[in-house]
Structure 1
Amino acid sequence: MPDLASEEKQRIRALLVDLLGGDQFTTRVLDDVSLREAGLSSNALVSLLVAMEDAFGFEWDDDVQPEVLRSIDSLAADVATLRN
């Protein structure tokens, strides 16, 4: 059985490719690297969060902790938790 977190990471990477118009960003950013430090803008992060809501079928809480939004790893872990 595939690792759920791995599937979530792949889907998040695919959303980033769609949002950013190519895979240049995702091919150079590791799963545990800060998305902000890697160069993802605030607008792009908000767009990613909205796209994730649509793709995964949930809504982010208003009080989501900043560390959840840090990296692909942390986003995928939170999505896996929300979906269980």
Structure 2
Amino acid sequence: MNEIIADLMKVVTDITEGEVQPDPAQTGDDSIRNLGLNSLRMLNFLVTVEDMFGIEWEDDLPESVLGSFEQMARYITEQRDVQYA
């Protein structure tokens, strides 16, 4: 799961052209939300994550998944497990 978190953080750095560099020590509650991404960057982040990991965000996704690197990595792991089961 740490590899997924590192990949997610790299996506943030890439889409913000280095303007936002997440702290690897900050992965818990609100760790994504606290980065201050505007709506366009957040949308770009979510679309890039979908493409990178081959997942689709569910309509009833808990808000905590979109706000936390740990929760998002856990969600991605669960979605990949379902796809390959």
TM-score norm. by structure 2 comes to 0.80
Identity of counterpart residues, as a percentage? 28
Unaligned runs of 5+ in 2: none
Amino acid at match of 2:21: F
Q: How does 1:1-84 map to 2 (within 5 A)?
A: 5-22=1-18, 24-27=20-23, 30-34=26-30, 35-84=32-81
Inter-CA distance 26–83: structure 2 relative to 1 (3 Å threshold) = same
Which of structure 1's runs of 4+ aligned residues deviate more than 3 A?
none
**Aligned 8 A contact 1:36 1:70 in 2:** yes
CA RMSD of aligned residues (A): 1.9
**Number of matched residues?**
80
TM-score norm. by structure 1 comes to 0.81
Q: CA deviation at 1:82?
A: 0.6
